[in-house]
Amino acid sequence: MNSVTLLQPQKIIFGEGVIEQLAGDSLIQRAQTVLFLVAPPLVPILEGIIQSSKFSNKQVKLVAYRFLGEPTFSQFNLLLDEHKALKPDCVVGVGGGSVLDCAKLLAALINHSQKLEDIVGMGLLHDRKTHLICVPTTSGTGSEVSPNAILLDEETQAKRGIISPFLVPDACYLDPVLTVTLPPKLTAETGIDALSHCIEAYTNKFAHPTVDIYALKGISLIAEYIQEAFENGSNMNARSAMLLGSMYGGLCLGPVNTAAVHALSYGLGGKFHIPHGLSNAILMPKVLKFNMSASLKRHADVARALGITISGTDKEVALAGINKIERLSKACQIPQRLTEIGVTEDDIPELATIAMNVTRLLKNNPREVSREDTINIYKNIL
C-alpha cells in the first residue's frame, strides 16, 4: 500500500444547529481577538452569535465579505491590509468557497512575515500562527476541510492554487441549516463540483484506499440527494447529505486532489468567469468518457456508488454511471454545452493552452491528456 498523508481539521462538528456551539468553541474561548469574515447573507446570524456573553471579554470584528466571483490577488491583499493591524489570534470564515479561501489565507498571513506572492503553489507556506475555524454555507468546495485555497491572478486571468498543510482549518462547523437558503442554481452547481472532487479522487492515478472510502461515500450521498436539494431546498435530509458529501469531497483534495475535469475547467473560470461548479458539470461526463478506458473497474465502482445497479461489463456499468451524471445534471437544469454559456470554437485554443499549464492536476489524471485531446473534449461539448 502506498504512503499517504491525510489532513483534516482536528475537530469537525456536523449537524443541524451546530452553529449555536460556535461561541463556546475552545479556540474562540482562548482567543483575545477574533476576526469574522462572513458572506453577506449570514451577517445577521453571526451578529446574533457575537452578542453572546461568551464574547464579552474579547475584541471582535465582523467583516462582511464584499467581492463577487473568484477572489483576486489584489482583492485578497486589500482584505489583508485592511485588517492586519487587528492582529487576531483566531479567524473565523463563514460562507462559500471564496469566503473560506480568503479566511484561510488571512489566518495564514495576518500575523506572518510571508506575503501572498511567496506562498502561491505547493507547500510554500512555512507556518500559521493564527487559529482558523471554517463554517461552510454551500455544499461544494469542501474548502472547510482541505489544504487548498484558490485565487484569480488578474494579470494572467489564471486561477492559482495555494496548497499547504497549514491551510487546513483547526475546526469546522458543518451546519446544514445554513445551506437552506442557497438558491437552486447554486445548490446544483456547487453540488456537482463536490461530486467531481469525489469522482476525480476515486479515478485518480494516485487514488488511495484511505481516500477511496471518502470518495465513494461522497458520491453516493450526492447522487442520492442533489436533485431533491435542488427541487426542495428546505429538505433537511437532502441538505445534510449534500453538506456531508461536500465534506467528503474536501477530504479527497489534500491527499489525492482532482484531475483533468478541474484542469480543463481552469480557463473557463479564469478567462470567462464561469462559476467553477458549472464548468465542472459541463466537462465531467466528456472527461470521464475519455478517461474510463484507463481504469474501467474504477469507473464502474463510481457508477455503482452513483446508484447504478445494472449487471454488465465494467464498461457498460461505467457508461451507465456517466449517463446518470448527465441525467442528474439535466434534472438540475444545468447547461450541457459550452455555447450555452457563451464560449465559442474560437476560444478553444486559448482554453486548451490554459488547461495544459495546469500540470499540478493533469499529472493526476488516469489517462494522459494531450493538447489535441483537450481540444477534442472542448469541441465535443461546444
Angle at CA of residue 241, ends 105 and 204, nearest 5°? 65
**Residue 244 found at the interface with its own copies (CB under 8 A):** yes
Chain centroid to Cα 73, Å, comes to: 18
CA 269 to chain centre: 13
134 close to 96: Cβ distance less than 8 angstroms: no
- Single out the segment in contact with its own copies by CB under 8 A; choices: 58-66, 240-248, 290-298, 305-313: 240-248
Q: Residues 29-48 vs its own copies: string with x where CB under 8 A?
A: -x------------------
From 56-64, 113-121, 165-173, 300-308, give the range in contact with its own copies by CB under 8 A: 165-173
C-beta of 152 vs 195, nearer to its own copies: 195
Contact flag: residue 363 with its own copies (CB under 8 A): no
Nearer to its own copies, 16 or 314 (CB): 16
Q: How many CB atoms lie within 10 A of CB 226?
A: 26
- Cell 445551506: give the residue: 179
Among 68, 113, 209, 346, binds its own copies (CB under 8 A): 209
Decide: is 165 part of the binding site for its own copies (CB under 8 A). yes
Taking CB under 8 A as the rule, does residue 187 contact its own copies? no
Compute how many residues bind its own copies; rule: CB under 8 A.
34
CA–CA gap between residue 244 and residue 15 (Å, rounded): 10
Strand partners, 318: none
Q: Is 98 exposed, middle or buried (0-12, 13-18, 19+ CB in 10 A)?
A: buried
Q: Which of 7, 23, 180, 341 binds its own copies (CB under 8 A)?
A: 7
Report in angstroms how near the CB of residue 193 gets to its own copies at its nearest. Answer: 21
Residue 180 touching its own copies (CB under 8 A): no
Our finding on whether 4 is near its own copies (CB under 8 A) is: yes
Restricted to residues 84-143, the positions that interact with its own copies (CB under 8 A) are: 127
C-alpha to C-alpha distance for 140 and 197, rounded to whole angstroms: 9
Nearest residue (CB) to its own copies, 210 versus 336: 210
- Cα–Cα distance, 243 to 179 (Å, whole number): 8
CA distance 206 to 30: 39
Instruction: List phi, psi (to 5°) of 342.
Output: 90, 15
What is the phi-psi region of residue 97: left when phi exceeds 0, alpha when psi lies from -120 to 50, beta otherwise?
alpha
Cell numbers linked to 268: 473557463
> Is 10 or 313 the residue whose CB approaches its own copies more closely?
10
Q: Which of 162, 168, 198, 369 binds its own copies (CB under 8 A)?
A: 168
Measured from the CB atom, is 257 or 374 closer to its own copies? Answer: 257
Q: Are the beta carbons of 266 and 358 closer than 8 angstroms?
A: yes
**Least distance between its own copies and beta carbon 174 (Å):** 10
In the complex, the residues that contact its own copies under the rule CB under 8 A are 1-18, 26, 30, 127, 165-166, 168, 170, 209-210, 213-214, 217, 237, 240-241, 244
